[in-house]
């Protein structure tokens, strides 16, 4: 285990962000928007994606390797951008390090528990995240009165990665997945997978105006900002021109990653490097 003591964390150290692949860029994008001085080391496990159909043991093993990789950059915080890894591995990761580790589930759950009026919350996510029932656990810890309805939507990830964000095929699949949530009259829907914010307009149109969509990517960046402020770790240095503020690493297919990343993040991703994650 690489020891990195929280007592020596530097304000201008980077934030480590990781996901099973490209989806976590929706979280990285929110961090860039909300705390623009921060440096980011992003890792996407493109060789081993998807996590959403894998076991807890496998996702935890992968996540621990990535934690060790990110810690080699002396990061001051780690954001588990992947919902599946947050559901399965967060508690194990927290035991491995004494720097703060934030997952995306708790911030999303907190907002959903706050905004629901009728106490009926829907969660859409991968099979693994729904099966783990971790969103339900976190929401219930905050509000015992609510009922949570989980629905796995495994086809959304490939549809988003195919670029079919605004497409009749995505509309059709979304209607099939969401009908049962509409029928049970939820008033809040958690977009519990990294990819879903990219089809937010489709999901919102189908659910209708009476349903509030909760985006854990946005809520996580907000919580991260609060955490950094509370620990006096917010970077107060404005990044210098030409500084490599955002660095991207993947376990395979760096060019494909870069193309997709540039369609999501408008800052211009100059490079993505492939590394051997099995070494960590």
Least distance (Å) between residue 52 CB and ligand DGL: 3
* Cis-peptide, bond into residue 50, ω within 30° of zero: yes
Taking CB under 6 A as the criterion, which residues in 140-179 touch ligand DGL?
Answer: 157
User: Residue 4 or residue 129: which is nearer to ligand DGL going by CB?
Assistant: 129
Residue 3 CB contacts under 8 Å (≥ 6 apart), including other chains: none
Out of 9, 14, 15, 23, the only residue in the binding site for ligand DGL (CB under 6 A) is 23
CA–CA distance, 115 with 261 (Å, rounded to integer): 31
Annotated catalytic residue: which of 17, 25, 82, 254? 82
User: Residue 83 or residue 212: which is nearer to ligand DGL going by CB?
Assistant: 83
What is the DSSP-derived secondary structure letter of residue 167? -
> Applying CB under 6 A, which part among 112-120, 190-198, 225-233, 258-266 lies near ligand DGL?
190-198
Query: CA dist 110 to 114, 115, 157, 270, Å?
Result: 6, 9, 24, 35
CA 233 to chain centre: 21
What would the x/- binding string for ligand DGL be over residues 35 to 74, using CB under 6 A?
Answer: --------------xxxx----------------------
Contact call for residue 83 and ligand DGL (CB under 6 A): yes
CA–CA distance, 156 with 249 (Å, rounded to integer): 24
User: Residue 69 or residue 135: which is nearer to ligand DGL going by CB?
Assistant: 135
Annotated catalytic residue: which of 27, 186, 189, 193? 193
Least distance (Å) between residue 85 CB and ligand DGL: 7
Residue 53 CB contacts under 8 Å (≥ 6 apart), including other chains: 126, 127, 128, 154
Contact call for residue 193 and ligand DGL (CB under 6 A): yes
- Closest residue to ligand DGL, judged by C-beta, is 52
Tell me if residue 193 is catalytic.
yes
Out of 13, 82, 89, 123, the only residue in the binding site for ligand DGL (CB under 6 A) is 82
CA–CA distance, 114 with 276 (Å, rounded to integer): 42
> Applying CB under 6 A, which part among 176-184, 191-199, 248-256, 269-277 lies near ligand DGL?
191-199
Taking CB under 6 A as the criterion, which residues in 206-245 touch ligand DGL?
Answer: none
R_g over Cα of the chain: 18
Least distance (Å) between residue 141 CB and ligand DGL: 21
User: Residue 51 or residue 69: which is nearer to ligand DGL going by CB?
Assistant: 51
Reference 18, options 133, 103, 124, 134; nearest CA is: 103
State the number of CA atoms in the 13 A half-sphere of 187 facing the CB.
11
Contact 139, 148 (CB under 8 A): yes
CA 71 to chain centre: 19
Q: Own/partner pairs for 207-210, CB < 8 Å, 24+ apart?
A: 207/178, 207/181, 207/182, 208/182
Least distance (Å) between residue 252 CB and ligand DGL: 14
Which residues participate in catalysis according to the annotation? 82, 193
Footprint of ligand DGL on this chain (CB under 6 A)?
19-20, 23, 49-52, 82-84, 126, 129, 157, 193-195
């Amino acid at each position: 285990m690489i020891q990195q003591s929280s007592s020596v964390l530097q304000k201008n150290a980077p934030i480590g962000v990781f996901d099973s692949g490209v989806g976590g860029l929706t979280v990285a994008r929110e961090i860039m928007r909300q705390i623009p001085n921060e440096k980011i080391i992003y890792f996407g496990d493109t060789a081993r994606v998807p996590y959403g159909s894998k076991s807890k043991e496998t996702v935890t093993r992968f996540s621990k390797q990535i934690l060790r990789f990110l810690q080699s950059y002396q990061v001051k915080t780690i954001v588990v951008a992947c919902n599946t890894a947050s559901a399965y591995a967060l508690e194990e990761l927290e035991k491995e390090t004494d720097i703060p580790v934030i997952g995306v589930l708790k911030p999303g759950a907190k907002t959903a528990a706050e905004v629901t009026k009728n106490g009926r919350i829907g969660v859409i996510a991968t099979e693994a995240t729904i099966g783990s029932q971790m969103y339900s656990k976190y929401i219930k810890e905050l509000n015992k009165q609510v009922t949570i309805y989980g629905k796995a939507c495994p086809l959304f990830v490939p549809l988003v990665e195919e670029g079919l964000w605004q497409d009749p095929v995505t509309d059709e699949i979304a209607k099939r997945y969401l009908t049962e949530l509409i029928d049970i009259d939820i008033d809040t829907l958690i977009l519990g997978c990294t990819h879903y914010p990219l089809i937010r307009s489709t999901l919102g149109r189908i659910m209708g105006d009476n349903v509030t969509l909760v985006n854990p990517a946005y809520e996580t960046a907000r919580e991260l900002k609060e955490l950094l402020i509370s620990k006096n770790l917010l970077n107060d240095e404005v990044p210098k021109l030409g500084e490599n503020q955002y660095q991207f690493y993947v376990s395979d297919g760096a060019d494909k990653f870069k193309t997709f990343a540039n369609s999501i993040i408008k800052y211009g991703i100059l490079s993505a490097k492939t590394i051997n994650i099995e070494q960590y």
